[in-house]
Each structure stands twice: as C-alpha cells, then as structure tokens.
C-alpha cells in the first residue's frame, strides 16, 4: 500500500496550505535527525519533506491530486480496501529497510598434522599412539560472541574461542611403510558457521631399531658374549621382532660366527610365514677383571704354553 502525501503529513485532503505548513513544522520537530536519531525517524523525515514539497506547491499539489484521482479509481476497481484507511502512522509498522548483513559462509576447520615415531617391530605388528592435540573451540559460555551479560566474557577472556586439549588414540595398522600419512576424519580444527571440521593427519615415521637391523626382509643382530661363554658354550637371550629368543651357543664358538634363527623374522603377508634372523657372535673382552680372574687367565696361558712345548718336543 502506497501512502498518500496527505497520509504522510496526517492532514485531510482538503487541508489548507497553512494547515499543511503547521502540520509539517510539527512533524519536523518530531523527526528531525538532530532530535531523533533512530533509523525510522530518518525515513519518516525524508517522507515528510517529500510530501511537504509537493503539497505546499500549488501546481505540484494540483497535478498530484489529479494523478491520485485516476490511480484511486483503478485501485478501487481491483480491491475492496479503502486506500484512505491508511494513516501516516502506519509508517511505524513498515518493516525496517533491510540492512545488508555480512554474508556468513560455512567455514571448514583447518587440518592438523602430527608426526609419530614407531620402531620397526611396531611397524610390523601394528601399534597405537596417544596424540595430544590442542584445538580452538567456540567458547561455550558466550557462544563466540566475546561478550556475556553485557560484559567481556571472562571464560574466554573476550576471544570468543577457547583452546581445548584433546587426547586422541590413533591405531597404527601393521605393515605401514615409513612416511605413511594416516587420516583421522573430523579431528582437525573445528569448522565455523556450520562448516565441517578439519582432519587430523598422522605421519608415521618408522625409525630403526637400536639392535635389530633389517635388510631385504632379513633381520640381523649382533650378540655379544663373554670369552668363557664362547669357550664353554651356553644359552644366551636374543631380541627378535616378536620378543626374546634363547639360543644355545655350542662350546668353542668363534668370533663372528653366525647362527640362523628361523620363524622369528619379518612376516610375509602372502605366505603368513616369518622369515630369518641372523645372529652374529661378538666376543666381548671384559673391561675390568679381578686379580683372581687374571690369575685364572694366567693359569690358562701357562697350561696352553706347556701344551705347545710338549708338541714341539715330540
Ligand atoms: Zn567466551
């Protein structure tokens, strides 16, 4: 419904120029921007001025009246509503001019990447790691508005978001190659405005086992034994990918002698069988010996010399 200029100024259609002028002055006092700073007042003030400009000019008013008479007739033919029932004050009910709202688009959360180290045994058997990630969440107290109850939100210190630490247990499947990137969906930074969460990426670095070396799927291990074990033989414990194994060292084992263990090496996924482990013997001379031990070694030496001398004589 379009309001007439008479409606806007709230005067009768047959009002005199003076009546219109008086009413205009009255309205200006109410809606002048210096007096009333509301958005509605600004709109009304514009309309008042426009209406006064027409109705206080004899020629313009005459033209306006004749145009209106024609329009009114057309309007009445199409509707039962009487246009004059609308008053100037309906302006207040007019919906506010639509303000341009900043467009809010869903925002996807950022991805988080973390590195984890596992050793070869874990790579073969599969393992898991607990990962601590910190990510920012919308403050639950102020819902990201930064203010609560008219004051700066104390919970998030007015940031609108809060850093939350989360522990995530990541399952690392067996048989992973060095540098494999695992994706844990939705465990990255939080999405905003209905956007999806980012992902968590876990880069798995397979580090060398301190003791076990693997080459071409064969496991190598150097076992240090004492001189007397080498001479007398005995059982020694040897680490494997699958736990400790016991090897029986025969008497008079030489330095650098190798033993082959079967069914303790790298698992062949196709055959389901485990491979070999080669154990090389290192004879380790003790760093310190007691005088008694030295005496025994001397005795050994003397015995050995006698044996050699006897051989020479005969
Ligand atoms: Zn807050």
- Domain range list for the chain: 5-93, 112-207, 213-283
Question: 114 C-alpha vs ligand 1 centroid, how far in Å?
Answer: 28
For residue 62, pLDDT over 50 is answered with yes
Q: Where would I find the beta strands (DSSP E) of the chain?
A: 112-119, 127-138, 147-148, 151-152, 161-172, 180-184, 200-207, 213-215, 218-225, 234-240, 243-249, 258-267, 274-283
CATH 1.10.10.10 fits 5-93, yes or no: no
pLDDT confidence tier of residue 78, bands split at 50, 70 and 90: low
For residue 310, pLDDT over 80 is answered with no
Question: 144 C-alpha vs ligand 1 centroid, how far in Å?
Answer: 6
Mean pLDDT over each residue of the chain, to the nearest integer = 84
pLDDT confidence tier of residue 145, bands split at 50, 70 and 90: confident
Q: Write the pLDDT tens digit of every residue in 113-142.
A: 999 999 877 887 789 999 999 888 888 888
* Domains 112-207 and 213-283 are alike in CATH topology: yes
Q: Write the pLDDT tens digit of every residue in 169-227.
A: 999 998 788 899 999 999 999 888 788 999 999 999 988 766 888 888 889 999 999 99
Question: 112 C-alpha vs ligand 1 centroid, how far in Å?
Answer: 24
**Domain 112-207 sits in which CATH superfamily?**
Urease metallochaperone UreE, N-terminal domain (2.60.260.20)
Question: 108 C-alpha vs ligand 1 centroid, how far in Å?
Answer: 21
Neighbour tally for 111: CB within 10 Å? 14
Q: Contact, 278 vs 291, CB < 8 A?
A: no
CATH number, span 213-283: 2.60.260.20
Question: 151 C-alpha vs ligand 1 centroid, how far in Å?
Answer: 10
């Amino acid at each position: 419904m379009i309001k007439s200029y008479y409606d806007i100024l709230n005067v009768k259609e047959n009002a005199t120029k003076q009546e219109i002028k008086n009413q205009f002055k009255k309205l200006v006092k109410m809606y002048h921007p210096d007096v009333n700073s509301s958005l509605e007042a600004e709109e009304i003030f514009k309309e008042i001025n426009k209406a006064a400009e027409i109705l206080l000019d004899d020629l313009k008013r005459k033209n306006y009246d004749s145009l209106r008479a024609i329009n009114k007739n057309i309007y009445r033919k199409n509707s039962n509503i009487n246009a004059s029932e609308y008053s100037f004050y309906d302006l207040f009910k007019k919906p506010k001019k639509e303000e341009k709202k900043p467009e809010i688009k869903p925002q996807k959360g950022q991805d988080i990447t973390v590195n984890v180290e596992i050793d070869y045994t874990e790579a073969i058997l599969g393992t898991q790691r607990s990962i601590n990630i910190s990510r920012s969440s919308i403050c639950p107290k102020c819902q990201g508005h930064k203010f609560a109850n008219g004051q700066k939100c104390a919970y998030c210190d007015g940031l609108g978001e809060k850093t939350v630490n989360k522990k995530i247990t990541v399952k690392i499947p067996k048989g992973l190659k060095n540098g494999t990137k695992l994706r844990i969906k939705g465990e990255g930074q939080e999405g905003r405005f209905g956007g999806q969460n980012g992902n968590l990426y876990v880069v798995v670095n397979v580090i060398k086992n301190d003791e076990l070396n693997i080459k071409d799927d064969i496991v190598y291990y150097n076992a240090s034994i004492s001189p007397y074990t080498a001479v007398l033989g005995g059982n020694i414990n040897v680490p494997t990918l699958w736990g400790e194994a016991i090897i029986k060292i025969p008497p008079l084992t030489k330095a650098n002698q190798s033993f082959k263990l079967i069914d303790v090496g790298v698992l062949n996924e196709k055959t389901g069988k485990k491979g070999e482990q080669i154990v090389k013997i290192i004879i380790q001379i003790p760093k310190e010996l007691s005088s008694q031990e030295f005496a025994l070694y001397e005795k050994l030496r003397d015995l050995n010399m006698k044996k050699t001398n006897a051989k020479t004589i005969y």
